[in-house]
Structure 1
Amino acid sequence: MGMDAQLRIAIIGCGTLGTAIANGILEPKSETGFSVKHLTATVGTPASKKRVEETLGVNSHRLTVLTKEENVRAIQDAEIVILAMKPIKRAKVFAVSGFKEALRDKFVVSIMAGISTAALGRLVFGENASEDTASLQAVRAMPNMAAKIREAVTLYTPGVGTTEDNLEIADWIFHQVGVAYQMPEGSFDICAVLVGCAGSLLLLAIDGLLDAAVAEGVKRPDVQNLVVNSAIGMLKLVPEGDHPGVLREKIASPGGCSIRALLELEKLGVRSAFTTAILAAAAKSKSMSSS
């Protein structure tokens, strides 16, 4: 399948991330590359069906939204299937009659957190079907929530035997909602939690900073953008070549306010707490494929 191909895509479990991806590929950044001929999305409830139809309504002529009872139909009508349901629901979804069989000749893109390509193959073919598992055309991916504004970072890794043509499709899909990087699966869990969890940890830090402003009598809405935009600007210096540690030293001038704040954080063990949190998340991600 070459570039400029028109794709028929199904998104199974089209929640927040699934909807962001759907919006991105229905309205691609550029006219070059692939395009979506038809998108079928499945959701859990009639209320979710209405939400997706309203969100993607401008492309209603290329869109079908179904409830989860018609997952198999959605897969059968597609060439590419994006599995976007929560990983805790996978056993129930895969247990539906005909679901596994429908996936076997499709290109499967999974954004289920913590589910390796090998585990995905076992879900489709069963525990003992090692040769069949290796034949599954599949990519495991982890985009973050910034896909909603097309500024996501997405990591993806191919299953054994996945073709270059299918990798091009996966790369195109995720570049519509931000930037995408291919990496080996051995590094995926730790890198995926950095992409998927680091943002929430930084948001916790920002929330704490805003609490300090409130404690000093300043209203949270009055300073929220000040804090967020200051953090964004500083973080953008890192890709420009400034190491985080060097930047921190430049800001923390002798006898100043920043060094006092940093010393308090070190006293509280904040740096090691961040490290421990990410390592715990990576361990959880590794365990999910076998749970």
Structure 2
Amino acid sequence: MFKLFFLGAGKMATAIAGGIVKAGVFQKSELAAFDVSAKAAQEFEEKTGVHCYSGDALNEGIAQAEAVLLAVKPQVLASALEPLAGALAGKPVISIVAGVPIARLTALTGSGRIVRVMPNTPALVGEGAAGYSLAPEAQAADGELAKRILSAVGVAMQVEEKYLTAVTALSGSGPAYVFEFIRALSDGGVAEGLPRDVATQLAIQTVLGSAAMAKETGIHPAILKDQVTSPGGTTIRALEVLEDRAFAGAVIAAVRACARRSEELGKN
């Protein structure tokens, strides 16, 4: 028997499987996967050391699985699950399929033990931030399993499903906002004469170090900001410009716009 079976063996599934093995959550022999692409299956095996089925072997793998992690694209979810009619009933099913609500997942899988997850791309480097929600029929053990799995590649927080839209807008799409900030910081350094490679590396490390400091100290970001800001100094002059140009307001508006678009896509 497999403790966890991955339906879909793309980049996120590969990152999660690798994290699980590295963290010792499960052994390689306790995991398995399936992908319709022989190439994807081969790459998954090479990177994780976990066996990945392809071709017509899906039902064989699912039959041996205690729990299943859905990691396919939303547009192919229904067709991917069609051959498994009844095979998932009663099994814990963890879904990282974007935008598909618990009710739809229950209907497609035939299982009430659904855990819906919103991960983000930093999970690919072991620094993910995920939110997850349990279906009404899910057991406490199903949530604990999902948290153990997601914690192997970052941080996982349980929320009600109605808040996954906000999670999508904050941490799901958040890396794009941070990458744009890094680019802008680098551009500012280049504008002041720094070589591009120097400016980019300084910008990346500044964001990385600041985030680590906020996490490790537990101090509110506003207080940490004040600790960098001397009266009448250089930093307060820079912050004045950000305030004048509605930096904080723009970020808040971006998160809310992302949430509204997520709702629109969910209705479709």
Give the TM-score normalised by structure 1: 0.80
* Equivalent of 1:181 in 144, 153, 157: 157
CA contact (8 A) 1:119 1:290 kept: no
Q: Which moved more, 1:12-21 or 1:228-237?
A: 228-237
Distance 1:224 1:83 in 2: 36
Distance 2:55 2:182 in 1: 38
The alignment-based identity, stated in percent, is 31
Distance 1:185 1:153 in 2: 16
Alignment-mate amino acid for residue 38 of structure 2: P
2:105 counterpart residue number: 120
Q: Does 1:193 align with 2:207?
A: no
Distance 2:261 2:29 in 1: 38
Cα pair distance change 1:16/1:34, threshold 3 Å:
closer
Matches within 5 A, 1:117-156: 117-125=102-110, 136-156=112-132
Distance 1:38 1:266 in 2: 53
CA contact (8 A) 2:6 2:32 kept: yes
Alignment-mate amino acid for residue 210 of structure 1: S
* Equivalent of 1:110 in 48, 72, 95: 95
Distance 1:290 1:69 in 2: 33
* Equivalent of 2:51 in 53, 57, 64: 64
Question: Any unmatched runs of 5+ in structure 2?
Answer: none
1:228 counterpart residue number: 204
RMSD between aligned residues: 2.6
Cα pair distance change 1:206/1:69, threshold 3 Å:
farther
Give the TM-score normalised by structure 2: 0.86
Distance 2:193 2:61 in 1: 54
How much does 1:72 deviate?
4.1
Q: Which moved more, 1:67-76 or 1:14-23?
A: 67-76
The alignment covers a number of residue pairs equal to 267
Corresponding residue SS for 2:44: helix
2:84 counterpart residue number: 99
Matches within 5 A, 1:68-87: 70-87=57-74
How much does 1:23 deviate?
0.8
CA contact (8 A) 1:20 1:177 kept: yes
Distance 2:18 2:2 in 1: 15
1:129 counterpart residue number: none
Q: What whole-Å deviation, never above 9, does each CA across 1:50-102 have from its counterpart, x for those lacking one?
A: 3212212xx3xxx32233765444323322111111223324434x3x23432
* Equivalent of 1:242 in 187, 199, 219: 219
CA contact (8 A) 2:133 2:161 kept: yes
CA contact (8 A) 2:12 2:121 kept: yes
Distance 2:233 2:36 in 1: 54
1:132 counterpart residue number: none
How much does 1:13 deviate?
1.8
Distance 1:67 1:26 in 2: 21
How much does 1:140 deviate?
0.8
Q: What whole-Å deviation, never above 9, does each CA across 1:165-219 have from its counterpart, x for those lacking one?
A: 2222222212222232222223222124322222221111011111222333322
Q: Does 1:52 align with 2:44?
A: yes
Question: Any unmatched runs of 5+ in structure 1?
Answer: 1-5, 126-134
1:216 counterpart residue number: 192
Distance 1:273 1:216 in 2: 25
